[in-house]
Amino acid sequence: MMETLPIWIAVPVALLLVISGILTLTGSLGLLRLPTFYSRIHAPTLGNTLGVFCVLVASILVSSTLEHRAVVHQILITVFLVITSPVTAMLLMRAAIKRKAREEERLAQEGAIADLPGDPPGKQTENEGLT
């Protein structure tokens, strides 16, 4: 027999799930709309972590109500997510920084660097002063 949730549990669970969807959607839109890799990686990390947290709190409320005892197994998922999500984002950013440095070094060896993004306009390169 299926047990129904009391309204005082169903309403907060529904609100948590709606908030979770909004946060996750916002993070995903940030991934699409932000201009640089570094800003793009930040939005989904925060939005999706908070979204999953809301889903897990809703799951704890539903499980605890239906089992008539505290069910907190979902806290393990939260702990793993809180640990792994930022670490993954940092590793991706470090890899991007190293890749950019290698690319700049390769271009410098080829003599193909003119004005890199972030250089002040009008900055002379090594080859320009020799003519």
Q: Where in the sequence is the domain holding 103, given as residue range(s)?
A: 8-111
| In the predicted structure, residue 110 carries a pLDDT above the cut 60 | yes
- pLDDT tens digit string along 49-74? 888 889 999 999 999 998 888 888 88
- Based on the structure, what is the number of domains in the chain? 1
Is the residue at 36 inside a domain? yes
- Joined tokens for residue 87: 């670490």
User: Burial level of 34, CB count in 10 A (0-12/13-18/19+)?
Assistant: middle
**pLDDT, mean over the chain:** 81
- Joined tokens for residue 59: 């799951």
Is the residue at 119 inside a domain? no
pTM score of the predicted model = 0.67
Is the residue at 83 inside a domain? yes
Is the residue at 117 inside a domain? no
Q: What's the first-to-final CA gap in the chain, in angstroms?
A: 87
Is the residue at 121 inside a domain? no
Torsion over CA: 66, 70, 71, 75 (sign) = positive
| In the predicted structure, residue 1 carries a pLDDT above the cut 80 | no
Is the residue at 43 inside a domain? yes
Is the residue at 118 inside a domain? no
- pLDDT tens digit string along 3-39? 788 889 999 999 999 999 999 898 888 888 888 888 8
Is the residue at 94 inside a domain? yes
| In the predicted structure, residue 130 carries a pLDDT above the cut 50 | no
Which one, of 50, 42, 45, 41, lies nearest residue 23 by Cα?
50
